[in-house]
Structure 1
Amino acid sequence: MELDGIDGRLLKIIRERIDCCVRIAHHKREHDIPMMQPHRIGIVQDRAARYGEDHGVDPDFLRRLYDLIIGETCRVEDLVMGNTSAR
């Protein structure tokens, strides 16, 4: 089914994003860089909202979606970096 294929690609991309964040967390740990980069969160959310505006997808939906995605990647980065405050 077409929708199943799209869902499979979406899940694969989410996994790739998490894998990338794991690599970033290793770099941050090795170079004593704080896990949380608040300015990046705003940049990513704004980019998603602009994409929504440009492509007919509700920008608020995309902001909420990225809230979830960013929350999970922050949790994973905390674990990788050994932070005791892991969510």
Structure 2
Amino acid sequence: MPEAPAPAVGIEELRARLDRVDEQFLDRLRERIDICVQIAHHKREHDIPMMQPHRIGIVQERAARFGSENGIDQNFLRALYDLVIAETCRVEDLVIGGPA
């Protein structure tokens, strides 16, 4: 009985690649939150309201467009961004309402 050809890439290598992508993803998420903190400081210093609904719409639409262009479910990306935006709004609230 002939042996099956060895896979070009093993499961452990694929998982290691996935782990690296996850680390980059989390680093970018942290960077995004850090930038939102800077935005919150700017909003506080310039008396700009925390909520900017038009901006949220722009971010959501950009994510949906990315999904459409890259074969990623748009509803998934909208839900993901709902979570990300909720967290960044929470953080901005803390900064804006906190001590100067």
TM range (shorter): over 0.9
The match for 1:65 is 80
Question: What is the alpha-carbon distance in structure 2 between the residues aligned to residue 64 and residue 41 of structure 1?
Answer: 13
| Segments ≥4 residues shifted beyond 3 Å | none
* 1:16 alignment partner in structure 2: 31
RMSD: 0.8
For residues 43 and 31 of structure 1, what CA distance do their matches in structure 2 show? 22
Specify every segment of 5 or more residues in structure 1 that has no aligned partner in the other structure, as ranges: none
- How many Å separate the matches in 1 of 2:28 and 2:36? 12
Percent of aligned pairs with the same residue? 70
Tell which deviates more after alignment, 64-73 or 74-83. Answer: 74-83
How far apart in 2 are the matches of 1:31 and 1:45? 25
| 2:10 pairs with 1:2 | no
TM-score (norm 1): 0.94
TM-score by length of 2: 0.82
Q: How many equivalent residue pairs?
A: 83
